[in-house]
Structure 1
């Protein structure tokens, strides 16, 4: 997965479900990256072909609203000023200097958690479209949860509706911010869930899907840890259907009954 290959780059990473969210996330990303407590690049991921090669109704905000939302960018480190000496483009950092650089980088990345929350609220006030670090769908009373990212979340939500009609208390957690990883949000969202299916459209050979260990780590300190199974699907552009996600839910419930999660290609 070309997007997830950037996990250790130190960039702020967003994953969009639809084309409207792609546009909205790009505009929010400017404000997040330019925040003085962050000052890191951002990247917004959209699924190839499913979103990038298809048309979808999208609301484009007026320029005046965007200008008011973003405000004027006042760069602190982009230009040389006589009263503020700085070094740019240093080829080599060693020893404590490199440690200090990485510490600053890590701190800035974690700062993006609260900055993103704040920017999402400002975007909601500006446009009426609401976002957060994650999206919770019918999770309040769920026994089993699908964890998804990107465009497959649309089909997965429909599967949740169908499963509810059949008496299965299913829910969904969609990962929107990938880095910095919203660990606390994920842990709280999955608290009390008995079984979790992490659905990845990627694979890390020898470990399963790339998000699978991230979710396991996030819920480790929960008092009642769920049984977590990993499902790898959609590789090479293969389609995902509502029935596929229903099958994933059933397999996950079976794993929970056996008290052991598994990793499967579906």
Structure 2
């Protein structure tokens, strides 16, 4: 993927992005500029397309049969959906952490080392493993059991292991799709604290149903909603409002946003 220097501090730019599954439109007409070195949150009701848009940012939707995208997703000046672009390279530079922790059936050490090896890492693997686990705030809990299975960890520890695994391949962006929804409050707090540290080195985009979490961790928030397509009963996801998190929750410009963040959403 050709790296063209960006003209601004924008990391990812969505230009009139619409996504469909077969003949069913899922998301329509999204315009958004995601800044570098910040945490951006996507919020909204179920089915509004926020996870679909998140997966579009590193072409994970390519793996879903019948999923198509129109518009452009620009990353560092390059259209990610250009025919010349290798989606594997896209996913190396834009990593992803899923809702349910999914460690490999390998040791804690190999969970980190495996992806790095596949991506051609030739440096000090021990140092990379330690650095990745430290960045994911799980080194102290795992340093004495690196040869044990990743499955031996608790749910919250497994999720941080998966974040460390994503970090190990040295991405520039980390996408997180409801990374705390299956976790207890203490594990959630640890991951939120970790996000504040990670944004010093990475751009982070998170989907969350937890509005308090969006307030706690994000710098910017996009509110998605579902609306009826003209002349149809079909519902499609749209981006209603995108702004600094403080504005979205304290002084939104759209009534639908106000209704959602104050709990009056129907």
Normalising by structure 2, what TM-score?
A: 0.29
Indicate the structure whose relative CO is greater, using CA pairs within 8 Å and at least 6 residues apart: 2
Larger Rg: 1
Question: Which structure: greater strand fraction?
Answer: 2
Question: Which structure: greater helix fraction?
Answer: 1
